[in-house]
A = this chain, B = another copy of it.
Amino acid sequence: MTELATLETKHAQLLKDAIQAIHARTFYTPYPEHPKAYAEDADSKGRDAFALRMNEPYTELQVESEKWIGEEVSPYLQTGIGVMYPQLSVEQLISNADGAKSWKDIPAGERAGILIESLERVANRYFEIAYATMHTTGQSFMMAFQASGPHANDRALEAIAMGYEELTRFPNEVDWVKPMGKFDLTLHKNWKAVPKGIGLVIGCSTFPTWNTVPGMYASLMTGNPVIVKPHPKSILPIAIVISELRNVLRENKLNPDIIQLAVDTVSEPVTKQLADNAAITLIDYTGGNAFGDYIESLHKTTFTEKAGVNSIILDSVKDLNAVAQNIAFAASLYSGQMCTAPQNVFVPADGIDAEDGHKTFDEIADAITNAINGIADHPKMGAGTLGGIQNDQTVKRIKDGGNFGGSLMAEGHTVSNAEFEHARVMSLTVVKTGWENKEAYGHECFGPMVFVVKTKDRNHSVEIAADLAATKGAITCSAYCTDAGMQNTIEDKMNSVFTPVSFNFGGAAFVNQHAAFSDFHVTGGNPAGNASFTNPEYINKRFVWVGNRYMA
């Protein structure tokens, strides 16, 4: 039993450290990212816990319902995992959330304490959540552990800490004394951060907790009850997080419906119905462009992360092979199903300079293709790096994509996974083409697909990458450039279309990774999304400052 009064003390240091980290933007995590840092039996216990959940109703939310649904399918097993969740009607969910609005009256420090306590509980279940993530998203165990566990918790804590800072930025009350010459005018003033209403957080199928918890915790921290509507194919990981938070709320004699899980199926979705409901005033969304554009068109406060086309600009390198390896790994990780994965590698027609001499366009395309094939074909690394394909449509889209133009350098083929014989694992398709072929590379080709694109020259590469970012959106841009002047040009040009640039990544640095407390994820400035984890705006838009004045 956690008492309100003790929570703040218990977690005050964590909150303070997180706020400091947000400002320092140096490395910070309270939860180690490597599974080996945890108890020796944690892995087997987590695996068992997940196995026990399969083919059972998920009762941990303590929600009563006449309707239980679930259609998650493991990309590793190619069978349904059989977990059934209680489905409430949209009206019931809204009514429950409405009944939980007194959450706003809990002081910010206590709200932070309760939310941080839920993260502590989640940390005890990282392994179970990792297996739930693996068997819904197709992520490898390692990625599932890190992304859905410590990295997601970091992002949640970041939202809580930034929220706490914003909420406590102005005094609760002051005596305002204005000298009026012969007398003073004194007013007693107070300020309240009034939450905007009820938050809806719409999850995606590939990162069910990492992309959901920032909005969920940001809306909660700022006093809004929240309804989370995960993708119907990836519910379990976030259901566990929500259950833990509901437990903490219940223990504190608070209404557990401050946080609710909404579930649906692919054939009978409820997301639009929820989003359209007038009681929903805040919407966080991760997913495709079409529905994301619809969400943004609603007259509501929205935070979206949609699709983008991420570019790599190859300008000049030290060691082409090292660069090719880094690019190959960034593109292969979880088969390009990360929103941060690179898709297009822009290379000048006359090649680039390296320390060991000039490299032609074809040599570069070969090096990248070889590196990509090398990962897929590597008996130990291959399956683990590629993970599984979450959605069969992803495979179909690439397989049936027909002629992408240019030369097919590598054709996606099935890769075997020693542990899971039915796993849906596919190697990357690599196409070498010219800049004129924008029809093929000029939009997001979600999944295991890379284009090596020949441009007129280095400036043309930057121009195309910037144009794609401005018109189609971009979450990342990777550049290999050893010339300081050109680095500035690339940085300025890409930043002007609100796209961050990662330069000369090698070794253990990959463009896909955005660290909480340091890297803003998505800038919010280009079509890839209108929000950013976690800048101040991500918090401020969820509540309204209202001041009152009393004659003294």
Contacts and interface: CB of A to CB of B under 8 A. Distances in A.
A541 interface: yes
Contacts of A502: 548-550
Contacts of A169: 23, 536
B523 A545 contact: yes
Interface string A161-185: 0000010011100111111110101
B547 A520 contact: yes
A180 B508 contact: yes
Contacts of A495: 192, 194, 546, 548
A26 B503 contact: no
A341 interface: no
A503 B189 CA distance: 10
Contacts of A519: 189, 547, 549
A499 B537 contact: no
A25 B549 contact: no
B550 A176 contact: no
A4 interface: no
A512 to B, nearest CB: 12
A92 to B, nearest CB: 23
Kindly report how many copies of this chain are found in the complex they form together.
2
A525 B178 CA distance: 28
A500 B549 contact: yes
A230 interface: no
Contacts of A210: none
A298 interface: no
Given A185-B509, A518-B189, A545-B535, A27 B196 contact: no
A540 interface: yes
Interface in A463-508: 487, 491, 495-496, 498-508
Nearest to A508: B185
A349 interface: no
A502 B551 CA distance: 8
A114 to B, nearest CB: 22
Given A23-B169, A177-B26, A515-B176, A194 B536 contact: no
A354 to B, nearest CB: 16
Contacts of A384: none
Nearest to A538: B540
A544 B518 contact: no
Given A540-B540, A547-B500, A550-B503, A27 B523 contact: no
A506 B192 CA distance: 24
Contacts of A174: 24-26, 518
Given A25-B174, A194-B525, A509-B549, 9 more contacts: A27-B178, A27-B179, A183-B508, A518-B547, A520-B545, A520-B546, A535-B540, A535-B545, A537-B540
26 contacts: A23-B171, A25-B189, A34-B181, A166-B536, A176-B518, A178-B515, A183-B508, A192-B495, A194-B495, A194-B525, A196-B525, A495-B548, A498-B546, A500-B546, A501-B549, A502-B548, A503-B548, A505-B551, A506-B551, A507-B551, A519-B549, A520-B546, A520-B547, A536-B536, A537-B540, A537-B541
